[in-house]
Amino acid sequence: MTPSDHQDLGVLAADAAEIVPADSLRSKVSLGRPLRVKLGLDPTAPAVTLGWAVVLRKLRQFQDAGHVAVLIVGDYTARVGDPAGKSEARRRLSKDEVDGYADRLLGQFRKVLSDERLEIRRNSEWLEGMGMDDVLKLTATMTVAQMLERDDFAARYAGGKPISLMEFMYPLLQGYDSVAVEADVELGGTDQLFNLLVGRALQRDHGQEPQLALTMPLLEGLDGVQKMSQSLGNYVGIDEPPDEQFGKLMSIPDHLIVKYLRLCTSMEAAEADDVEQGLAAGALHPNEQKRRMARLVVDLYHGEGEGARAEAGFDLVHKHHEMPSDAPEVAIEAALLGEHGLVWLPRLLVSTGLAATNGEARRAVRSGGVRLDGEPLGDPDAELDVDLLRGKVLAVGRRRFVRLV
């Protein structure tokens, strides 16, 4: 093995939670050819989050080391629903829903991955055409007892919660993806290890050399407790505007600063170690390191310097309580005007995109989160004079603003 191979091994194994089998990465890299490195992501939501980006960035590291990234868009498995980490069955998504999400995600994937040495496949290519005989052969490779070894299935079974046979099919279908693309390596979060090991078993059953499984730690969301998830609303999207990203990242608990530095930025491991030691000893201030982390994340997805610009905008609002000069201008629609030129506040918030529904708008007002030129608006049924609104900044929360024209 050459010195560069040793260096690649260090990068490829960095921050991994587990590699199965433990010594398999060295032997795979020693094959002397580009490895086929698989990552499957089900399009069940419209955004690529920083949590997803943890494994995507690991896949990019394999690309940069000369290996082939095989990104599988799980457009078929998404309709089945991954039970990993779930205490009850997922809602089934329609084909149209899944296809819509997939179309929105592909451009975001390319913000992380290189177009070189990249294959993008949809697993409907091989799963949708399976006949009953194919499905029965697949089910014969695993026992119910093996399925119940999964922590989430075991907990649901012990608690008397239903587990559908379709959910048992999910690990088999995801595992078959590895057979279809002849994967050498499969990446995933720690909650995916069982599925990755099923892929190894199926490859062995089909006469292929089993893939190694490399899992990455799960990233807690902004609440600091639960896994980052769009359904929970505790996420940061890689495609969000710089100001939105920076503001959200400044809200994470201090105990996650180092984890975000390690998993969400390109900071070297030794430097992250120094930050961790400095925070523990009290030599570094958590707020300064959180700002540093937020700048690095914004720079990574929007370009160098954008993090500092977003930080300045954040300080303008939070430190100096000033209105942002670059708030997007939104025209007050004529259809909103009632008698005497008055506008009902919830409808105004919805029409400007600051709230999704009238109900959400009313809740934001009641919580004290709606301001006009910095002054709180406390009446959810307020009717405002349109002539007094023009040129003013309407805000919801600390990061969403529009200037009314």
The answer on pLDDT for 91 being more than 70 is no
Give the homologous superfamily in CATH for domain 329-404. Answer: RNA-binding S4 domain (3.10.290.10)
Highest mean pLDDT among 130-144, 155-169, 254-268, 363-377: 254-268
Highest mean pLDDT among 148-162, 218-232, 291-305, 383-397: 291-305
Please name the fold of domain 242-318. Answer: Tyrosyl-Transfer RNA Synthetase (1.10.240)
Q: What is the pLDDT of residue 231?
A: 84
The answer on pLDDT for 92 being more than 80 is no
Q: What is the pLDDT of residue 148?
A: 86
Contact between 9 and 2 (Cβ < 8 Å): no
Average pLDDT over residues 172-177: 95
Mean per-residue pLDDT of the chain: 88
CA distances from 340 to 266, 346, 381, 387 (A): 56, 18, 16, 11
d(CA 110, CA 52): 13
Lowest mean pLDDT among 35-39, 197-201, 374-378: 374-378
pLDDT in tens, 343-392: 888 888 888 888 888 888 888 888 777 888 777 788 888 888 877 777 77
Q: What is the pLDDT of residue 93?
A: 81
Q: Which residues make Cβ contacts (< 8 Å) with residue 379, sequence separation at least 6?
A: 345, 365
pLDDT in tens, 14-24: 999 999 999 89
d(CA 198, CA 177): 10
Lowest mean pLDDT among 140-144, 259-263, 335-339: 335-339
Q: What is the pLDDT of residue 324?
A: 60
Lowest mean pLDDT among 54-63, 65-74, 110-119, 368-377: 368-377
Between 182 and 79, the higher pLDDT residue: 182
The secondary structure of 215-242 as a DSSP string is EEPPPB-TTSSSBP-TTTT---BTTS-H
Q: What is the pLDDT of residue 113?
A: 97
Give the percent of the chain with pLDDT over 70.
92
CATH number, domain 3-216: 3.40.50.620
Q: Is 329-404 in the same CATH topology as 3-216?
A: no
Q: What is the pLDDT of residue 90?
A: 53
Q: What is the pLDDT of residue 2?
A: 47
The answer on pLDDT for 6 being more than 60 is no
d(CA 382, CA 346): 8
Q: What is the pLDDT of residue 326?
A: 64
Domain ranges of the chain: 3-216, 242-318, 329-404
Lowest mean pLDDT among 171-180, 226-235, 264-273, 355-364: 355-364
Q: What is the pLDDT of residue 115?
A: 95
Q: What is the pLDDT of residue 51?
A: 97
Q: Which residues make Cβ contacts (< 8 Å) with residue 332, sequence separation at least 6?
A: 343, 348, 351, 386, 389, 390, 404, 405
Between 364 and 88, the higher pLDDT residue: 364
Between 121 and 345, the higher pLDDT residue: 121
Q: What is the pLDDT of residue 271?
A: 97
